């Protein structure tokens, strides 16, 4: 146990010793792209619910800016676009002879977030933990499923909501350019309206949380 | 040779036991046309109070003769509104329509705790049918009272002769609302058992009817009781 603690302390000392190069830049921008896996109620399709999410495994593209206010502490902002398509096979069996063509538009969210990031420097990069909060501008899933008995429509709606998230990752630096891997959780919970074929309008709150795994490219200014 | 039969039997049971499939039929749930509709109202107590917020589920269930395999398709769900009204709208598939050698049934279940509510079948099943068709609406109303218990005890049964008999009946108004008091709880007493417990409806007037046939003379007594939900009444009958 003592050996392990000593080893850990030694590692941190080495990391601190090599931290000078990375800390010399005050700000950075990064472009990130990766997966967005629905989780919680966004990932569950309960038959009892009037409108299950049918959210498929999706993707997220984000652009971040960070500015150092202390050697290890940065503040900044992120703009992100997240899309999760229609999980068609959950809705209808692909071999269902009743079902014809399926057209759909994905769940879509644009996030504008303010971030706080804390870094632990390594010899050739750093680890970080980042938290953020802001607003999300969301568009709900829509689909039109043709069947032998007529179409099934789910119209779309737009809604704005608070958003929050937490990320962690690591970045490898080559001079001003950095390559990194990021893992995080991003959530929002907008309220949408939907009008069914009988003219009945229902409001429903849709938690939209995803677990995101991304690679990114960063540039230090 | 005998020793090899047991693994074969276990394998056979495993194969047969693994044939239960359950699917969610969203095409049926969002019925695009030619819908079958089951609608009605749920009440409780003595039909005076609507039963709001109860989840109802329609499903198609087909079982083989021995129950080793089954297919269950969830067809629709609905929740009763403040007035107890519900509407289950779904699309029947071709293999769910009435036809020869169709062993499937459309079943409507209430998501209620049968420990608290008296559903006469003893299960959550309210309705079943194997002859529903498309483009049709049927109305079914149900009364689902809360449950109470009457613990019946008969005394002096040892004097019962072979020609004598003693019957106790308590009818609750539970289930299909087109029929009154059709949830029958009845006991034909014998000298070998002097105690029975019956689940009955709470918040209803219940008639405890005792028919005694002793030495060729029949006497009938009736007493009306009303129990609160969860109440247990001890009731004694003397032969």
State mean pLDDT over A140-144. Answer: 97
pLDDT (0 to 100) of residue B121: 80
A11 assigned to some structural domain: no
Helix (H, G, I), strand (E, B) or coil at B167: strand
CA dist., res. A163 & res. A186, Å (int): 7
Q: How many CB atoms lie under 10 A from the CB of residue B232?
A: 10
What's the CATH number where A107 sits?
Answer: 2.40.160.20
CA dist., res. B125 & res. B61, Å (int): 12
Whether B32 and A150 lie within 8 Å, measured CB to CB: yes
pLDDT (0 to 100) of residue A183: 98
Whether A152 and B27 lie within 8 Å, measured CB to CB: yes
Q: Which residues of B touch A48 (CB under 8 A)?
A: 55, 57, 77
State mean pLDDT over A78-107. Answer: 96
A19 assigned to some structural domain: no
> Number of residue pairs across A and B with CB atoms under 8 Å?
35
A2 assigned to some structural domain: no
Question: How many angstroms separate the CA of residue B89 from the nearest CA in chain A?
Answer: 12
Q: What is the pLDDT of residues A100-117, one digit of tens each?
A: 999 999 999 999 999 999
pLDDT at A13 exceeding the cut of 50: no
Rg (CA), chain B: 23
A4 assigned to some structural domain: no
Whether A98 and B93 lie within 8 Å, measured CB to CB: yes
pLDDT (0 to 100) of residue A6: 53
Q: Which residues of A touch B26 (CB under 8 A)?
A: 47, 90-92
pLDDT (0 to 100) of residue A18: 44
Residue A91, both tokens: 């809705």
**A2 band by pLDDT with thresholds 50, 70 and 90:** low
Helices of type H across chain B: 5-17, 26-29
pLDDT (0 to 100) of residue B16: 58
Helix (H, G, I), strand (E, B) or coil at B21: strand
Under 8 Å between Cβ of B103 and B115: no
For chain B, say whether A100 makes contact (Cβ under 8 Å): no
Q: Which residues of A touch B37 (CB under 8 A)?
A: none
For chain B, say whether A86 makes contact (Cβ under 8 Å): no
Q: ipTM exceeding 0.90?
A: no
Q: Which residues of A touch B32 (CB under 8 A)?
A: 145, 147, 149-152
- Mean pLDDT estimate for chain A: 91
**A14 band by pLDDT with thresholds 50, 70 and 90:** very low
Question: How many angstroms separate the CA of residue B77 from the nearest CA in chain A?
Answer: 6
State mean pLDDT over A205-212. Answer: 98
pLDDT (0 to 100) of residue B145: 95
Whether A96 and B27 lie within 8 Å, measured CB to CB: yes
Whether A152 and B32 lie within 8 Å, measured CB to CB: yes
**A4 band by pLDDT with thresholds 50, 70 and 90:** low
Whether A92 and B27 lie within 8 Å, measured CB to CB: yes
A121 assigned to some structural domain: yes
Find the closest chain A residue to B59 by CA distance: A47
Residue A38, both tokens: 């629905």
Interface test with A, best of B22, B23, B30 (most A CBs within 10 A): B30
Whether B33 and A92 lie within 8 Å, measured CB to CB: no
State mean pLDDT over A197-202. Answer: 82
pLDDT (0 to 100) of residue B176: 87
Q: What's the first-to-final CA gap in chain A, in angstroms? A: 42
State mean pLDDT over A117-141. Answer: 96
Residue A187, both tokens: 């959530």
**A207 band by pLDDT with thresholds 50, 70 and 90:** very high
For chain B, say whether A142 makes contact (Cβ under 8 Å): no
pLDDT (0 to 100) of residue A217: 97
Find the closest chain A residue to B93 by CA distance: A98
Per the structure, the complete domain to which residue A81 belongs is given by 26-220
**Number of domains making up chain A:** 1
Complete DSSP assignment for A16-58: HHTTHHHHT--EEEEEEEEEEEEEGGGS---TTSSS---BPPE
* Positions of chain B with pLDDT under 70: 1-3, 12-18, 181
Whether B57 and A48 lie within 8 Å, measured CB to CB: yes
A93 assigned to some structural domain: yes
pLDDT (0 to 100) of residue B112: 92
For chain A, say whether B76 makes contact (Cβ under 8 Å): no
A182 assigned to some structural domain: yes
A9 assigned to some structural domain: no
For residue A136, what are the contacts with CB-CB under 8 A and spacing of at least 6? A109, A110, A111, A112, A160, A161, A162, A163, A188, A190, A208
Q: What is the pLDDT of residues A50-79, one digit of tens each?
A: 999 999 999 999 999 999 999 999 999 999
């Amino acid at each position: 146990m003592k050996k392990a603690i000593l080893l850990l302390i030694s590692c941190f000392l080495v990391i601190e010793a090599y931290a000078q190069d990375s800390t010399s830049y005050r700000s950075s921008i990064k472009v990130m792209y990766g997966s967005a896996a629905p989780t919680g109620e966004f990932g569950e399709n309960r038959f009892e619910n009037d409108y299950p999410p049918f959210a498929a495994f999706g993707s997220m593209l984000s652009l971040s800016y960070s500015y150092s206010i202390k050697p290890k502490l940065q503040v900044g902002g992120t703009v992100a676009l997240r899309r999760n398509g229609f999980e068609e096979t959950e809705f209808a069996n692909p071999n269902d002879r009743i079902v014809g063509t399926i057209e759909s538009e994905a769940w879509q969210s644009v996030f504008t977030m303010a971030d706080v990031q804390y870094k632990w420097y390594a010899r050739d990069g750093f680890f970080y933990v980042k938290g953020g909060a802001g607003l999300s501008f969301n568009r709900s899933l829509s689909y039109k499923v043709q069947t032998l008995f007529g179409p099934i429509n789910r119209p779309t709606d737009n809604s704005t909501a608070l958003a929050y998230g937490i990320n962690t990752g690591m970045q490898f630096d080559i001079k001003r350019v950095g390559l990194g891997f990021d893992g995080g959780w991003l959530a929002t919970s907008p309220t949408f309206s939907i009008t069914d074929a009988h003219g009945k309008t229902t409001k429903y709150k849709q938690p939209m949380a995803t677990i995101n795994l991304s690679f990114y490219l960063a540039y230090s200014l | 040779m005998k020793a090899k039969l047991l693994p074969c039997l276990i394998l056979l049971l495993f194969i047969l036991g693994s044939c239960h499939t359950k699917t969610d039929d969203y095409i049926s749930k969002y019925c695009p046309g030619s819908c079958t509709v089951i609608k009605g109202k749920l009440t409780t107590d003595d039909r005076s109070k609507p039963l709001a917020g109860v989840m109802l589920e329609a499903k198609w269930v087909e079982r083989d003769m021995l129950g080793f395999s089954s297919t269950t398709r969830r067809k629709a769900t609905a929740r009763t509104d403040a007035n107890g009204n519900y509407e289950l709208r779904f699309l029947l598939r071709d293999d769910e329509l009435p036809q020869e050698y169709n062993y499937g049934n459309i079943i409507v279940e209430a998501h209620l705790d049968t420990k608290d509510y008296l559903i006469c079948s003893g299960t959550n099943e309210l309705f079943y049918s194997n002859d529903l068709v498309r483009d049709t609406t049927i109305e079914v109303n149900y009364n689902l009272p809360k449950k109470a218990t009457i613990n019946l005890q008969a005394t002096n049964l040892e004097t019962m002769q072979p020609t004598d008999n003693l019957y106790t009946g308590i009818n609750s108004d539970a289930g299909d609302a087109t029929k009154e008091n059709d949830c029958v709880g009845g006991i034909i007493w014998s000298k070998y058992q002097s105690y029975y417990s019956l689940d009955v409806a709470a918040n209803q007037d219940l008639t405890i009817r005792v028919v005694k046939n002793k030495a060729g003379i029949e006497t009938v007594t009736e007493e009306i009781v009303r129990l609160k939900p969860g109440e247990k009444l001890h009731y004694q009958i003397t032969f």
